[in-house]
Amino acid sequence: MDYLSGLNDQQHKAVTFQGGPLLLLAGAGSGKTRVITTRIAYLIDQLGFSPYSILAVTFTNKAAGEMRERVNSMVPGAENVMIKTFHSFGAWMLRRNGDSLGLKSSFTIYDDDDVNALIKSLVPTASRSEIKQFARDISRCKDDNLSPDDNLTHINSHPNFNNIYLRYEARLKEIGNVDFGDLISLPKKLLSTNKEISSRFQSRFKVILVDEYQDTNRAQFELLQNLTGEDTWVCVVGDDDQSIYKFRGAEVRNILDFDKMFPGTQVIKLEENYRSTGHILSIASAVVKNNLNRLGKTLWTSKGDGLKPTIKYLENGEAEAEFIASKLVDGDLNETAILYRTNAQSRQLESTFIRSGIPYKIIGTLRFYEREEIKDTLALLSFILNSKDEIAFRRVINKPVRGIGKTSLDKIILDSRNYDNDYLETILKTTLLKGKAKKGCTEFYDFISELKELDFTQDLGHFIRRVIEDSGLLDYHRSQDEAIGSGKVDNLEELINSSSKYSGDSALSDFLEAVELDQSSFNRDDEEDDTPKVTLITMHNTKGLEFDRVFITGMENGLFPRSEKLEDDDELEEERRLFYVSITRARKELCFTSCKSRILHGKFIDSSPSIFLGEIPEDFVIGDTPSNSNSFTNSTFKRGDNVYHDDYGSGYIIKVTDNGKHELVLVKFETGQVKQFIPEFSPLEKIARY
């Protein structure tokens, strides 16, 4: 039982806990992955659970892979533990049981572009922005387990939205494919409507563990409920203070109310942090305790206090970038990250770094799988699997050009209704085409039919190479490389290489599923270039990462927290959680920067220091005070004062600062609204405490 050595008391208690349900409240850097994997090993090794009866679910394939490797190294037979992401588990379940929903096991998974294209085919008059909004809102409906029959006005008030959603679902079913939301909602539907399937899964999985539980949405929560039988040991691991993905559908109430949904829950808090120094953790705890909707914990470390974090107030964005550049002269780039709230903030940093010769990399740029040549190839592969796939067909039928224009394509789509929506059969039998269009369709039919006869089970890479070459895509993208100096052919080679590990009858569908569910594995990101680089990254993208030195930039009201977030308590609390996540990325050094003004989206903006900086106790940090902060020493207002405004009513001051010209007062009103005023121009009245 060497795997138990080195666990602290709370970790040991969590690993050896018997029964369920169990909520592990795991603070940032508290070793939660070790606890989960060690618990799985303990269940097998000491409590006699069959590996086959254990299901562990997390949010990324990378995390699942790391978890799998750790467990396998601890106890024999652990390779039979099912460790998957929510979506890959859903896909696995549907490929084996989807026939009861009329879904073939060879279905492919539509990404955002595919979904947009399908909606466009249903609502051709809709603008691009409207289509994207419909797609986002349909996804949100599925996250919240809402059907086209429900009242959806709180999600999209468009009078035809329910009908568009209904038609989208019907068309998706006709095609025989699924979107990402279906990978959760359809398994949940299977379990809630089919007693035989429900009983089978509840009998199999005696232990269910869910990582990053604070990031689950309503549909994922209900899927967990349906998987859980009376005797199932359920353990969820998460941190309510790190719930920052509401815009993706995450519901923080899932973790806050877990004990209500699963009566008898045992809560174990993991509060010892192994990542950051004491001063950094003190700031993180001081800030996040201002949130009301949290279960509560306090991070601590045995590492010692370390360096005190610093605050730097600067004139503008250019000065901010120059300041950070001056701190990078020590050459410690690989372990330095610069965090910002919006991607637009990176422009000034990039410009300054280029001028100063500082190498950098931006996390969150165009991914490998999103590139034109890759999507073309994946669409062809999807169509080979499913000739009813309208979106794949639209993308590849005339690429490279085969003389099939929009008019001819519309005729094919229309006529396909006479051939069970099978586009391969349609282009063979339709009588609506003539000339070049007919010739092009015949060539396409012959090419696809020949590929369908090939055996890809032994060498999927060879098959994909044949697809790329015979389709003309290789020559097409090679000509683009020659014209604009791009690396499209190299990317196609990389796609071929990445398919080499897949074999067997389901090799092609398994590969396409992996592409959709683990797209980051195909992001090359100049792997061969080992030049030290500073990392530029948004606060949201930094979740799960850590660095020795972190700069948190743009600490200004209106930018962070965002203006629209200030007026809603729940939104402001999520912004504060985002600040907490950003702080806890730092191991040793932490610096906050705030500007009096900056240019964003082409506009010059005057700012005041973020209210979050005001929540950091002064003795926890060192550094500047806001420029000209003593200009208004005769102010009648201070933080905590109660005030009254004719339009907004009663409230209290949460921050007093200035923009170099005027005093600025930030007020939170009883209505929950947060407003900023310049007192000399605003009828703001100081009142007695109430």
**What are the boundaries of each domain within the chain?**
9-94+187-272, 108-175, 282-365+529-603, 369-518, 641-686
Q: Which CATH architecture has domain 369-518?
A: Orthogonal Bundle (1.10)
Active-site annotation holds for 125 = no
Active-site annotation holds for 32 = yes
Of residues 32, 188, 312, 668, which has the active-site annotation? Answer: 32
Low-confidence residues in the chain, pLDDT < 70: 364-367, 483-486, 518-529, 600-603, 625-635, 658-662, 681, 688-690
User: Is residue 596 part of an annotated ligand binding site?
Assistant: no
Whether omega before 400 lies within 30 degrees of 0, making that bond cis, reads: yes
Side-chain half-sphere exposure of 21, counting CA atoms within 13 A: 23
**Phi and psi at residue 234, in whole multiples of 5°?**
-105, 130
Closest Cα to residue 511, out of 473, 464, 447, 465? 464
CA dihedral 599, 600, 602, 608 (to 10 degrees): -50
Active-site annotation holds for 242 = yes
Of residues 294, 312, 371, 585, which has the active-site annotation? Answer: 585
Domain 282-365+529-603 has CATH 3.40.50.300: yes
CA distance readout (Å), 47 to 17, 39, 236: 11, 10, 19
User: Is residue 30 part of an annotated ligand binding site?
Assistant: yes
Q: What is the CATH code of the structural domain delimited by 9-94+187-272?
A: 3.40.50.300
**Phi and psi at residue 549, in whole multiples of 5°?**
-130, 130
Residue 206: predicted pLDDT? 97
- The answer to whether 9-94+187-272 and 282-365+529-603 have equal CATH topology is yes
Residue 308: predicted pLDDT? 96
Please tell me the distance from the alpha carbon of residue 106 to that of residue 382, in angstroms, as a whole number. 9
Of residues 111, 182, 211, 241, which has the active-site annotation? Answer: 211
DSSP line for 285-325 = HHHHTT-SSS-----B-SS---SPPEEEEESSHHHHHHHHH
Residue 600: predicted pLDDT? 64
User: Is residue 29 part of an annotated ligand binding site?
Assistant: yes
CA dihedral 456, 461, 467, 468 (to 10 degrees): 180
Of residues 114, 212, 222, 320, which has the active-site annotation? Answer: 212
pTM: 0.80
Please tell me the distance from the alpha carbon of residue 576 to that of residue 287, in angstroms, as a whole number. 7
Distance of CA 496 to the CA centre of its chain: 27
Side-chain half-sphere exposure of 682, counting CA atoms within 13 A: 21
Q: Look up residue 250 and give its two tokens.
A: 């995450």
Active-site annotation holds for 218 = no
User: Is residue 27 part of an annotated ligand binding site?
Assistant: yes
Of residues 58, 85, 108, 242, which has the active-site annotation? Answer: 242
Residue 493: predicted pLDDT? 85
